[in-house]
A and B are shown apart, each in its own frame.
Chain A
């Protein structure tokens, strides 16, 4: 085990104000169980889970309430005991509506029901358990990527035939401003992360391990060095330069092992890499060793307008309003509420939205930090082109989309865009360039889906 400096620096990137000092010294605190949880069926990337309970049912903590519905999907388990009040369509942070279970956690079960005891799943000894058993455990624990996108982890850990994982990369970069959840996790739960790495190494057939951490987190680097000191095999801690979006999967692969993931639909596994967030790794360790499915996660509640910024361990489905109340409420009027980080997070209109498996942060920005811009015409300065870490000509794409030329945007490789927001951040004319890219990507995806449906219908005939 050794610590090395990253040999590769990607092009572009930006330096937003990190503001991490607000919550970085706050140890992880567990929130008291809220009286009501809203558990969404769409907490991950891919098809939403299929709800299998009905209003009036009493559910036990850890019980499966949403079944995996498709290949790219994971199951949803309830994060607490309680009675299902209703099943409604609720707004998620990204703007879409999905079925959600409204759970009354104060309700008592009817009649004589034995107190739930013991682990939810049977603990496994990872050393003796087979690879298939471990994979199955990851799947039944409902684990998805906890960095933000929420890709089902069991799919990632099971490369298609013919592809081999050579590098397992642990993402501890946490390059989003304000967020410190992963940082605290690395400090406080380093042994769990190590255990998770050992389990994942077994599942993936013994790849080399790279632990990627940005240079502005020396304590986390030290904690990982201590935890991994006596591990055998090819394990390195890679110290990355501080640059946004260093935590992006593709950029992390380049920074740690110097490989470039080709344009979509290529995936990291095509260049022999699997990237997992440190939170996901700790969740895998819990699922295997303790039999504890993914029911809660660390969420950073920060931003200038919250009274006490904290790193909160909260059950999935906690309402934002409960999180804010736990952190002492609002110190000054909130101008903007953001689910996630300031660069890639979603501005939400109400604190009645609840957390999911991927909610890494909740930011309450005061008026001084939430700038209301008026976007203007492109001045052709090229700053977005310089900032784009994917080597795209963002200005050209934005102009194409603005004139409804989606094909032009596609020709300019808009599908490669990772929506990191570096272009909008650097634009002096305040143009919503990332939004233009997102719009083009959505149109293109819709078109491809329509074409596929048409082809399928034609094939049926």
Chain B
């Protein structure tokens, strides 16, 4: 018994001495600010800033190789705190959230095949472009929902929907979507065009009941071309998020019914 105690205590003592020496001679000097910046970041490790986790971004910030304000999840408050720690100016950031630019639910957008393969948009898109008649729209197999670090995306009626309150704007869903139907938009914008199909009106109507036909009515109703609230790509209206429209009237007047006021799905609604 005593021998055991002495042995263990001896081993412990030797180890303690080794560690003490190692601590003195082998220690790595780390900038204490890294820890402080890491603590100031949200800690979601979403990777939206382009660095490997919050710690990676903190190191880059302290090293001065990354701009302050790249953290979409933390937003302005986080940027201001980091600015205080590092003594630099905080770049003004606006919270951005993901928007699924499609409103072709199962009842509105036709499906041209029965897809019963792997439940993943990227795989479905490899199979004859997916089973949706519209080749630009949301397939609804949840590739975005699977990568979302905040569980902000859910699938409703064959369509991905983003919960604005949970979304941190990391952009992972944007990167994985095979149809490129998700876009990061300012969280303050309330009026959106929920369509991604630049084809001509008749072609869009053939595959979807709520597709944008490029009629320019939204532009006219929001003060014309000079007002600059909308841009057009082919036969698709796009909200100019640098100068977003605010008049909710235009939503009701859209003949294609592809516009929505605050399209983000709110869980609980």
Instruction: Report which A residues bind B (CB closer than 8 A).
Output: 91, 93-97, 346-350, 372-375, 402, 432, 435-436, 438-439, 442
- Considering only CB atoms, which chain B residue lies closest to A434 in the complex? B117
Tell me which of B113, B116, B128, B130 contacts A374 (CB under 8 A).
B116
A347 to B122, CA, bound (A): 16
Residue of B nearest to A347 (CB): B128
Q: Which residues of B are at the interface with A, using a C-beta cutoff of 8 A?
A: 112-114, 116-118, 120, 122-123, 125-131, 133, 135
Rounded to whole angstroms, the CA-CA distance of A350 and B122 in the bound complex is 20
CA distance A349 to B112 in the complex (A): 6
Give Cα distance in the complex from A255 to B157, angstroms: 51
Residues of chain A contacted by B114 (CB below 8 angstroms): 372
Cβ–Cβ contact B135 & A435, under 8 A: no
Q: Is the CB of A97 within 8 A of B135?
A: yes
Q: Which A residues are CB-close (under 8 A) to B126?
A: 94-95, 438-439, 442
Q: Closest A-chain residue to B147, C-beta based?
A: A404
Please, could you name 11 A-B residue pairs with CB atoms under 8 Å apart, sorted by A?
A: A91-B135, A93-B128, A95-B126, A95-B127, A349-B133, A402-B118, A432-B118, A435-B117, A436-B118, A439-B123, A442-B126
A347–B133 Cα distance when bound, in Å, is: 14
Give me 12 other A-B pairs in contact (C-beta within 8 A), A346-B128, A435-B123, A438-B123 excluded: A91-B129, A95-B126, A97-B129, A97-B135, A347-B127, A349-B112, A349-B113, A350-B112, A372-B114, A435-B118, A439-B118, A442-B122
What residues of A have a CB within 8 angstroms of the CB of B125 in the complex? 95
Residues of A within 8 Å of B128, CB to CB, are 91, 93-95, 346-349
Cβ of A278 to closest chain B Cβ, rounded Å: 28
In Å, the complex CA distance between A210 and B244 comes to 68
> What CA separation (Å) do A375 and B117 show in the bound complex?
8
Nearest-Cβ distance from residue A421 to partner chain B, whole angstroms: 13
Residue on B nearest A439 in the bound complex, by CB: B123
Q: Determine whether the beta carbon of B131 is less than 8 Å from that of A375.
A: no
Task: For the complex, give the distance between the alpha carbons of A432 and B119 in Å.
Answer: 11
A239-B117 Cα distance, complex, nearest whole Å: 37
Cβ contact of B130, chosen from A95, A372, A402, A432, cutoff 8 A: A95
Q: Is the CB of A346 within 8 A of B123?
A: no
Which residues of chain B are near A439, meaning CB under 8 Å?
Answer: 118, 120, 122-123, 126
For the complex formed, measure the closest distance between the CB of B200 and the CB atoms of chain A, giving whole angstroms: 11
Q: What residues on B are CB-neighbors of A95 within 8 Å?
A: 125-130
Query: Smallest CB-CB separation from A375: which chain B residue?
Result: B116
- Bound: A402/B120 CA distance, A: 10
A12 vs B129: C-alpha distance when bound (angstroms): 31
**Given the complex of chains A and B, what is the CA–CA distance between A191 and B244 in angstroms?**
70
Please give, as numbers and ranges, the residues of chain A lying within 8 Å of B117 by CB-CB distance: 432, 435
A93 to B130, alpha carbons, bound, how many Å? 11
With a cutoff of 8 Å between Cβ atoms, the chain B residues found around residue A432 in the complex are 117-118
> B129 contacts which chain A residues (CB < 8 A)?
91, 95-97, 349
**Which of chain A's residues has its CB closest to B135's CB?**
A91
Chain A residues contacting B120 (CB-CB under 8 Å) are 439
CB distance from A429 to the nearest CB of B (A): 13
- Tell me which residues across on chain A come within 8 A of B112, comparing CB atoms: 349-350
Find B113's partner among A96, A347, A438 (CB 8 Å cutoff): A347
Chain A residues, Cβ within 8 Å of B116 = 372-375
- Residues from chain A with a CB closer than 8 A to the CB of B131 are 349
Contacts of A91 in B (CB 8 A): 128-129, 135
Give B152 Cβ to nearest chain A Cβ, in Å.
Answer: 19
Which residues of chain B come closer than 8 Å to A438, judged between CB atoms? 123, 126
What's the nearest-Cβ distance from chain B to residue A160, in Å? 31
Chain B residues with CB below 8 A from A348, complex form = 128
Closest 7 CB pairs of A and B: A349-B112, A95-B129, A349-B113, A432-B117, A95-B128, A439-B123, A348-B128
In the complex formed, the residue of B with least CB distance to A92 is: B129
| Complex contacts, B123 vs chain A, CB 8 Å | 435, 438-439
Give the shortest distance, in Å, between A100 (CB) and chain B (any CB). Answer: 14
Question: Closest residue to A338 on the B side, CB-wise?
Answer: B128
Q: Which residue on chain A has the smallest CB distance to residue B126?
A: A95
Most buried by A among B112, B127, B135: B127
Of B122, B127, B130, B133, which is within 8 A of A346 by CB? B127
Q: How far is the CA of A342 from the CA of B251 in the complex (A)?
A: 47
Instruction: Chain A residues near B127: list those with CB within 8 A.
Output: 95, 346-347, 435
Q: Which residue of A lies closest to B114 (CB)?
A: A372
A349 and B129 CA atoms in complex are apart in Å by 9
Shortest CB-to-CB span from B23 to chain A, Å, is 36
Closest Cβ neighbor of B178 among chain A residues: A95
Find chain B residues with CB under 8 A from A347 CB.
Answer: 113, 127-128
Contacts of A436 in B (CB 8 A): 118
Closest Cβ of chain B to A200, distance in Å, is 34
A402 proximity list for chain B (CB < 8 A): 118
| Residue of B112, B128, B131 ringed by the most chain A CB atoms within 10 A | B128
Roughly how many angstroms separate A373 CA and B114 CA in the complex, as a whole number? 11
| Contact residues in B for A374 (Cβ distance below 8 Å) | 116
List the B residue with the shortest CB-CB distance to A432: B117
Q: Quick one: closest B residue to A404, CB to CB?
A: B146
Distance from A450 Cβ to chain B, minimum over Cβ atoms (Å)? 11
Give, as a whole number of angstroms, the nearest-CB distance from B104 to chain A.
15
- A443 smallest CB distance to B (angstroms): 8
**Interchain nearest-CB distance for A348 vs B (Å):** 5
Complex-state Cα separation, A375 to B116, whole angstroms: 8
Contact partners of A349 in chain B: CB under 8 A:
112-113, 128-129, 131, 133
Cβ distance B123 to chain A, nearest Cβ, rounded Å? 5
B residues in contact with A96, CB < 8 Å: 129
Residue of A nearest to B146 (CB): A404
* Nearest chain A CB to B167 CB, angstrom units: 22
Instruction: Tell me the smallest distance from the CB of B120 to a CB of chain A, in Å.
Output: 7
A6–B112 CA distance with the chains assembled, in angstroms: 44
**A430 to chain B: closest CB distance in Å?**
9
Shortest distance in angstroms between A9's beta carbon and chain B's nearest beta carbon? 32
Question: When chains A and B are docked, how far (Å) is the Cα of A438 from the Cα of B117?
Answer: 12
Neighbouring A residues of B122 by C-beta, 8 Å:
439, 442
How far is B113's CA from A91's CA once the two chains are assembled, in angstroms? 15
In the bound complex, CA of A4 to CA of B129 (Å): 44
In the bound assembly, the distance between CA atoms of A250 and B22 in angstroms comes to: 58
What distance in Å separates the Cβ of B155 from its nearest Cβ neighbour in chain A? 18
How far in angstroms is the closest Cβ of chain B from A88? 9
